[in-house]
Structures are given as C-alpha cells and as structure tokens.
C-alpha cells in the first residue's frame, strides 16, 4: 500500500502503526514528496474515521523515524532529508573504506596530541571532584570555564566579556543555537555559493533559505550582498561567513574585505553569522568580522579542528544583551557542555599544551600544503595552514567521474556539489590531515594522474 490519499479501508489494527506505515510507504513511492504538508491531526482523523490520538501517535512515529518534521504553528511536512537520502560530502561507506581517505576534514594525528591526552587523564585520574562528575547546573559549568573560554577567544582575535560567551559541545551545536536564536522559519541567509555542509543541513531542518552571493578571489563581494538584501524585501535576515580558511574554498579573507562586509551588514541590518572552526590555527590572520559588529554578530569557534578531534568543545559569542535568549535555546537542545571535556581543555590551555600543539600543527600543515601545491599545481587552492585544499577540475570533467576514477585507485575525496548553494565549477575537496605524510604524497600523486593535463 503506497497510494495517497488514504482511505478508511487502508487502516488495520493497531491503527496508529498501520497509518504510520501507510504514510511511510507513500513517501517511499514518491506519492508524498519532500516538503509536502500532511493533513492536520483533526482533518486526517475525520477522513480516516480514527481518533485524533491515533493520528498524533502515527505522526510521532514518523518524526522519530526522521521521515516527517513537525513545525510549531505551521504543520507537519515530509522531511527534506529522510535517512535513506541523507548525503554527506565525505566518503561514508564503512564496508569499503579506501586506503587513502582525503574526504573528511580532520587535524593531523600528531604525537603531541596523544601525549597531551595521556598526561591530562593521568593527572585527573582519581582527582575529579563532584563539580565534574555530578554537576548538572549549566550556570555552574559556564562560570567554571568562563575564563578559559574568553582566553581562547582572545587568541582568535576577539576580546569579549563573559556574558557574551556560551560554551557548547563543538562548533556545529554553537552554529545551530545561533541560527535558531537569530532567525525564524522562512528567513533567508546570504552565503557564499560554496559553504559548509552543516549549514546546508541545519538550514533545511530549521526551514531557512540559503542564497548564494557573488564572490571574487577575496571572498563575498560587499556590493552584491547589499544588492541581494535590498532585493529580498526584508526576507534576508543574516549573512553566513567563513573568512578564515575553513570554507570549501579555503581562502583567508583580508582585513579590507572584512571591514567592507561588516559595513555592508551594518548598512542592511543583517545579522552576521561567522564560523571559524580553525580558530587560531592559521597564523597572521585578520581579526574576526564580528568584532566590528558586536550588536549584530554571532561568532563560533572550537577546539576540534585545531587541537584534537576528541576535544569536542565550542565557543559561541553572541550579540550584546542576548545571553538569556541564546542560553535558553542551548538548554533546549544540548543543556550544557560536557564538564570532563571542558576540564581537559582548560588543562591544555593553562599548561601551555594547546599552544605547543598549535605550533606543531602549523609546521606539519605547512609541509603538507606545500606538498599538495607542488604535486597538483595552481588549480589546487589553499593556504599554508589549511586542513584542506580545493582542487578545480577541467570543465569537461564531471565530479562524479573524477571521484569514481579516484576510488578505483583507492583514494576518496569530497565532491564539490556537497557544499554548493548555487552553481559552481567542477571541483573536489582534498583533506590533508588523515594518515602519514608519505601516504598523503602517494594519494596526491595518484590524483595527479586522474586529472587530465591542463
């Protein structure tokens, strides 16, 4: 049974399960499509001669299965990302892991990282107090690690007070809280034509629209942003930026362009959403844009990409006067940051371990980026301390073709289409952190053979 609409004859016992299965079958068959609105609980109950409670229970089953999404005040809709169609830009087939996986952005596995974990956990063993083991009060955790958070943000070029900082379990949770705090369903977010896949997925979940803005070699063009905001007739409410080299196209924006974009945001009233997962890893970069728009800027950074994948801790800087508003959004989704991870992070930062890892990481990334540049040439873009590079493909070569040929040689990369908000030239993302440098060189030389000579 996969037709739609349903009739009372389609419902068997137990009614809620039969109804949920029938709707799921209709979605699978394509008779209910992405974004379709389901009838209200009362309307469907009347049409199928069942109770409102039966419909509610069936919808709850579908929501748990991630097939539909309920939006307060709007209704229930077929999910834009049901599990069987959820795609990530990186290689994720566990049954066929490639020998060289350049598809997922991870820091280099430095010996300094392993040593830091071992030493911190050894020091803490047997000395963890109740404030770490038993604490469930978010305000206590916020106060305990506030100095650590503001100190790290100062390394990133942003000096703020404690009442503007929220500690989270990583950059993605911080971004989600910022989106849900600043925007409502239907709002438009301006972004570069290529952006992080987590923004694309979060925008879908929150029913937000993304609009690609024209860019040049320095990043988003301020005049294009102003024009798009004016043409949106008030629907465009925010601009999402990744100016420090973590975006798919790993450019580091210069100070003049940051100043111009801050001015454009002030002129249009757009909220600035600035994502900086690399934190202080790129050396000699300009200060964050949000420092120029303190009343309308959200800035989020973290420790995962620059210090260690297991150190899942993020910091969200919010506009002045929004602490209670933003904190309430965080409480409803994550409650609070994990105390043990925050304690390890503080230990690393206070003892200078974090700075030593940053220094070692920069040295290794510089060597890897130079290696990629020497092998793949100018079509492979990236900075000295980036975790990845952006490889432009010849116009005649499709991304799928390149990826298939690379996988035949046991090398996985991430398709550019996974980051695209608007049309883009064929390209793939190459992450440089996984494996040893010798394996990376082998993978890069393999890719060089897959790309036709320019």
Rounded distance between C-alpha atoms, residue 236 and residue 257, angstroms: 21
Q: What pLDDT score was predicted for residue 46? A: 92
Q: What pLDDT score was predicted for residue 94? A: 47
CA 341 to chain centre: 20
pLDDT tens, per residue, the chain with 454 residues = 568 889 998 888 788 878 988 888 788 777 888 888 999 999 999 999 999 989 988 888 888 777 888 877 788 989 865 444 445 676 665 445 678 999 999 999 999 999 999 999 999 988 888 888 888 899 999 999 999 999 999 999 999 999 999 999 999 999 999 999 999 989 999 999 999 999 999 998 888 999 999 999 999 999 999 999 999 999 999 999 999 999 999 999 999 999 999 999 999 999 999 999 999 999 888 999 999 999 999 999 999 999 999 999 999 999 989 999 999 999 998 999 999 999 999 999 999 999 999 999 999 999 999 999 999 999 999 999 999 999 999 988 999 899 999 999 999 999 999 999 988 899 999 999 999 999 999 999 999 999 876 5
* CA atoms within 13 A of residue 340's CA, in its CB half-sphere: 11
Coil, strand or helix at 446:
helix
- What average pLDDT does the chain have? 91
Q: What pLDDT score was predicted for residue 70? A: 84
Q: What pLDDT score was predicted for residue 85? A: 46
Q: What pLDDT score was predicted for residue 283? A: 86
Q: What pLDDT score was predicted for residue 86? A: 47
- 110 — alpha (psi -120 to 50), left (phi > 0) or beta? beta
Three-state helix/strand/coil letters over 303-360: CCCCCCCCCCCEEEECCCCCHHHHHHHHHHHCCCCCHHHHHHHHHHHHCCHHHHHHHH
What percent of the chain is predicted at pLDDT more than 90? 74
Cβ-based burial of 386 (10 A; exposed 0-12, middle 13-18, buried ≥19): buried
Q: E strands of 53-152, at which residues? A: 68-71, 75-78, 100-101
The Cα-based distances of 123 to 114, 348, 425 in angstroms read 14, 12, 51
- β 271-276/236-241 pair status: parallel
Q: What pLDDT score was predicted for residue 27? A: 83
| Burial per residue of 354-384, b for 16 or more beta-carbon CB atoms within 10 angstroms, e otherwise | beebbeebbebbeebbebbbebbeeebbbbb
**197 — phi, psi (to 5°)?**
-65, -25
Helices (H), 269-302: none
* CA atoms within 13 A of residue 439's CA, in its CB half-sphere: 15
Q: What pLDDT score was predicted for residue 12? A: 85
Six token digits for residue 106: 């991870």
């Amino acid at each position: 049974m996969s037709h739609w609409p349903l009739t009372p004859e389609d419902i068997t016992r137990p009614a809620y399960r039969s109804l949920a299965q029938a709707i799921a079958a209709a979605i699978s068959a394509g008779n209910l499509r992405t974004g379709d609105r389901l009838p209200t609980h009362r309307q469907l109950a009347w049409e199928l001669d069942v109770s409102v409670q039966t419909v509610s229970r069936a919808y709850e089953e579908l929501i748990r299965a991630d097939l539909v999404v309920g939006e307060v005040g709007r209704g229930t809709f077929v999910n834009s990302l049901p599990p069987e169609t959820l795609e990530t830009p990186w290689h994720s087939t566990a049954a066929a892991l490639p020998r060289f996986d350049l598809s997922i952005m991870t820091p280099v596995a430095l010996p300094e990282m392993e040593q830091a974990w071992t030493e911190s956990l050894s020091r803490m063993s047997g000395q963890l107090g109740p404030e770490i083991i038993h604490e469930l009060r978010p305000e206590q955790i916020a106060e305990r690690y506030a100095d650590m958070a503001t100190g790290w943000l100062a390394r990133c070029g942003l000096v703020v007070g404690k009442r503007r900082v929220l500690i989270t379990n990583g950059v993605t949770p911080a971004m989600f809280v910022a989106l849900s705090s600043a925007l409502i369903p239907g709002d438009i977010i301006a972004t570069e034509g290529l952006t992080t896949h987590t923004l694309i997925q979060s925008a879908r979940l929150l029913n937000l629209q993304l609009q690609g803005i024209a860019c040049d070699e320095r990043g988003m063009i301020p005049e294009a942003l102003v024009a798009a905001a004016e043409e949106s007739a008030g629907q465009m409410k925010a601009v999402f930026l990744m100016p420090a080299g973590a975006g798919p196209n790993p450019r580091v924006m210069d100070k003049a362009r940051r100043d111009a974009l801050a001015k454009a945001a002030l002129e249009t009233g757009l909220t600035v959403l600035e994502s900086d997962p690399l934190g202080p890893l790129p050396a000699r970069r300009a200060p964050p844009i949000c420092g120029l728009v303190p009343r309308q800027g959200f800035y989020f950074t973290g420790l995962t990409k620059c210090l260690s994948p297991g150190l899942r801790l993020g910091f969200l800087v919010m506009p002045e006067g929004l602490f209670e508003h933003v904190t309430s959004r965080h409480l409803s989704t994550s409650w609070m940051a994990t105390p043990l991870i925050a304690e390890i992070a503080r230990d690393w930062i206070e003892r200078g371990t974090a700075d030593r890892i940053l220094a070692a990481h920069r040295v290794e990334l510089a060597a890897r980026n130079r290696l990629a540049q020497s092998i793949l040439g100018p079509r492979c873009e990236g900075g000295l301390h980036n975790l990845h590079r952006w490889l432009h493909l010849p116009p005649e070569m499709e991304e799928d073709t390149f990826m298939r040929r690379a996988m035949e040689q046991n090398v996985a990369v991430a398709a550019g289409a996974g980051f695209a908000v608007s049309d883009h030239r064929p390209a793939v993302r190459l992450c440089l952190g996984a494996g040893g440098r010798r394996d990376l060189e082998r993978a890069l030389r393999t890719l060089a053979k897959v790309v036709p000579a320019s």
